[in-house]
Structure 1
Amino acid sequence: MLHHLRTTHRHAAPVFVIGYARSGTRLVCRLMRQYLLANSGAERSFSRPEPNQGVRHDPEVAVASLRGRHPREVHEVLGGQLASHHNLALWDDQIPPGIQDLARLAASFPDAQFVHAVRDGRDVALSIPQTTFGPQNVCECAQDWGRTQQTIRAFAARLAPGQFHEVRYEDLTTRPLETLRDLGAFLGVDVDETIVAAMRAGLPADVRPGNGRKFQYVMHPRELERFEGVAAHSLTAAGYPLALQGYARRIGAIERWSWRLHGRTVRLTRRDALRDTAYRLRLRATAIARLLLAAPFGAKRLPRVSSAAQTQPTGGQ
């Protein structure tokens, strides 16, 4: 983060960065913190803040600051600690690919803003098999990516004006300055000439140019046909032209199921995936153990709130 930058945030509501894996969500978060002075959480930033952001949460201060048990209050307290550590006025969090609870999140934070980082699904399909958590073949990725785009667009249609903004990975890699200025305007950040100068100096090193539309040169024609045969509608709805102009062979239910079974088999046999799963289980077991050990020693009891108050939180960040 560039500590010499100063700006004004006209909006004080939290910001959530959403999107499918390998679509630039982490890059968007990093650039927001670097240039727009919005504290940006990475995956597990609240459960693992020290390795991710160099800060350790103070549980005693967090519990003392809580006014009730609503998820919004917990999120605001923890997000506020991260923002205060970086001397920032605005906090945000990155929502990983499991976006089934977006409606619940919007209900808890009715004034929140959502930034959707989207990338051409065919490039995502080339990148995501390198991870230990995602689809392991093009057909499986096309199903998941397409379903995610449909879910996010249906969610965005229910939001009020000024709550949803889309950032294309391709725009970040070809015109990063203009893309960040548009994002700053959406977030209510005054992007003055000092910040613009910092962007011009730093963005060439922060953003990898020419990293979009690689599928045109790298993806095998059969894999391209499989992806467009599954997710042609989602690609078109997201504004990405079809390479095969709608002539891709449709992939039937049995073939889709077989490719999904193939992906699960690969994940079960990859050592790095097994290590990652074991690590996640250890994190959860450690958290549960801490809760069980802390319970008998008089941890502060939080005031009970009515069910109506839980479903309709008041106040803002």
Structure 2
Amino acid sequence: MAQSQERAIIVLGCPRSGTTLLQLMLHAHPRIAIPPETRFVTSVYWHRKRYGDLRNVDNLRALGEWIVYSKGTRFGDLGLDPEETLAEIVNGPRTLGSALATVFRRYARRFDKPRWGDKRPAYHHSIDQLARMFPGAQFVNIVRDGRDCVGSLKNMSWFRQDSYGAMSTWAEAIDNGRAAARKLGPESFYEMRYEQLIGDPEAELSALCDFLGEEFDPAMCEPHQVAGIAVPKRKTHHANTHREITQANSGAWRERLEPWEISLSESVLGGRLRKNGYELSGASRPAAAHLANYAKVSTKRRLNWRKRELRDRVWRLNEPSGRVAAVPPDNAVSEEA
């Protein structure tokens, strides 16, 4: 247990694949605290140059102030005192990962728990960066039938893309998860199916706890008990998290998707669906125009992400990893290095 305590738990997956449900299941564990989406971890990483060398305490303070006071973050959802959090960041180790880890440790202490983690579906695009900031992190990737994800995403008011974008989003999540599994290995990367999780929560969560190095606790099978604490009230699209686990929405794509969307999904996502254990309906071949639109959207998205990755590689050439990776809080420096 002590060995796993300093290992961050990162929950990720395609949006609408059950990441919030899994977050609550983990948060219900007596030793684990997973907050609602913070929205500042990857933002801090990609804008780290604006803060300069964090060995300078003034730079570290500026970073901490952005985390706790910026309107662009969700720090307010954590129920933490901003001034006390800022003080702990400034007095902690002067690295990017350490500043972030300080916030999560404080959140875990709020519930008297030793382990902390974070959840955000889009983290599947930033696994390498997260592993760099949080050495030893354990990644938990949840996979849901891509057709259900598409059917749910297109009905979300916050999802600004169309069905083509939704399909591309699921494909990217699957491909990024597969690549991470190869790179990180079974000690650091774990994948589970949403349908199996809601079908047999105890068995699936017991296996997950084995991966995390924790004892399974039955409270994890009652995530609705902590939904009032760990899910902000404004997130009305997570209303089901306040109820007992249900399989009602599994396979809802049959009603939510139009015939052309089913045909296109099974054509462009078919290989990934089958590889993940999902049967195809045998829909007819999609129209050429739909295939062309998907290819255009998918290609543009992938190029944008590749440009970002290339930029990060260039930045790393002159950036010692020691200034990014989190270190234990007792390694704090007392003066500017």
* Same fold at TM > 0.5: yes
RMSD: 3.0
For 2:249, the equivalent position in structure 1 comes to 211
Match of 1:33 among 27, 34, 39: 27
Q: Any idea what SS the aligned residue of 1:111 has?
A: coil
1:32-58 per-residue CA deviation (whole Å, 9 max, x = no partner) reads: 0113531112222663233x3433342
User: Cα gap change, 1:65/1:251 in structure 2, threshold over 3 Å: closer, same or farther?
Assistant: farther
* Contact persistence 2:222–2:245 (CA under 8 A): no
* Contact persistence 1:39–1:90 (CA under 8 A): yes
Q: Does 1:72 align with 2:97?
A: yes
For 1:56, the equivalent position in structure 2 comes to 81
What does residue range 14-29 of structure 1 map to in structure 2 within 5 Å? 14-29=8-23
1:308 deviation in Å?
A: 5.1
* Worse overlay, 173-182 or 77-86: 173-182
Q: Distance in 2 between matches of 1:86 and 1:226?
A: 46
User: Cα gap change, 1:179/1:202 in structure 2, threshold over 3 Å: closer, same or farther?
Assistant: same
Name stretches of at least 5 consecutive residues in structure 2 with no aligned partner.
41-72, 226-242, 299-318, 331-337
* Contact persistence 1:173–1:212 (CA under 8 A): no
For 2:144, the equivalent position in structure 1 comes to 119
Q: Distance in 2 between matches of 1:122 and 1:201?
A: 27
* Worse overlay, 91-100 or 118-127: 91-100
1:201-241 per-residue CA deviation (whole Å, 9 max, x = no partner) reads: 77794322332122234433322101112211222232322
Q: Does 1:309 align with 2:303?
A: no
* Contact persistence 1:117–1:166 (CA under 8 A): yes
Q: Distance in 2 between matches of 1:307 and 1:200?
A: 43
For 1:159, the equivalent position in structure 2 comes to 184
What does residue range 261-280 of structure 1 map to in structure 2 within 5 Å? none
1:241-299 per-residue CA deviation (whole Å, 9 max, x = no partner) reads: 22228x64375663326778xxxxxxxxxxxxxxxxxxxxxxxxxxxxxxxxxxxxxxx
Q: Any idea what SS the aligned residue of 2:4 has?
A: coil
* Contact persistence 1:226–1:251 (CA under 8 A): no
Match of 2:277 among 236, 239, 245: 239
User: Cα gap change, 1:219/1:36 in structure 2, threshold over 3 Å: closer, same or farther?
Assistant: farther
**Normalization by structure 2: what TM-score?**
0.67
What does residue range 111-150 of structure 1 map to in structure 2 within 5 Å? 111-134=136-159, 136-150=161-175
Q: Distance in 1 between matches of 2:131 and 2:158?
A: 26
Match of 2:258 among 220, 241, 245: 220
1:73-122 per-residue CA deviation (whole Å, 9 max, x = no partner) reads: 11211110100011111000013325332212112223110000211110
The AA in structure 2 aligned to 1:48 is R
* Contact persistence 1:17–1:95 (CA under 8 A): yes
Bigger relative contact order, structure 1 or 2, given CA contacts below 8 A and separation 6+?
2
The AA in structure 2 aligned to 1:24 is G
Percent of aligned positions that are identical:
23
For 1:289, the equivalent position in structure 2 comes to none
Name stretches of at least 5 consecutive residues in structure 1 with no aligned partner.
1-7, 261-305
Q: Any idea what SS the aligned residue of 1:97 has?
A: helix
Q: Distance in 1 between matches of 2:165 and 2:79?
A: 36
User: Cα gap change, 1:17/1:201 in structure 2, threshold over 3 Å: closer, same or farther?
Assistant: closer
For 1:96, the equivalent position in structure 2 comes to 121
Q: Distance in 1 between matches of 2:188 and 2:136?
A: 8
**Normalization by structure 1: what TM-score?**
0.71
Q: Distance in 2 between matches of 1:257 and 1:160?
A: 31
The alignment of Structure 1 onto Structure 2 pairs a total of residues equal to 258
User: Cα gap change, 1:135/1:102 in structure 2, threshold over 3 Å: closer, same or farther?
Assistant: same
Q: Distance in 1 between matches of 2:170 and 2:323?
A: 33
User: Cα gap change, 1:201/1:230 in structure 2, threshold over 3 Å: closer, same or farther?
Assistant: closer
The AA in structure 1 aligned to 2:211 is F
User: Cα gap change, 1:161/1:141 in structure 2, threshold over 3 Å: closer, same or farther?
Assistant: same
* Contact persistence 1:230–1:250 (CA under 8 A): no
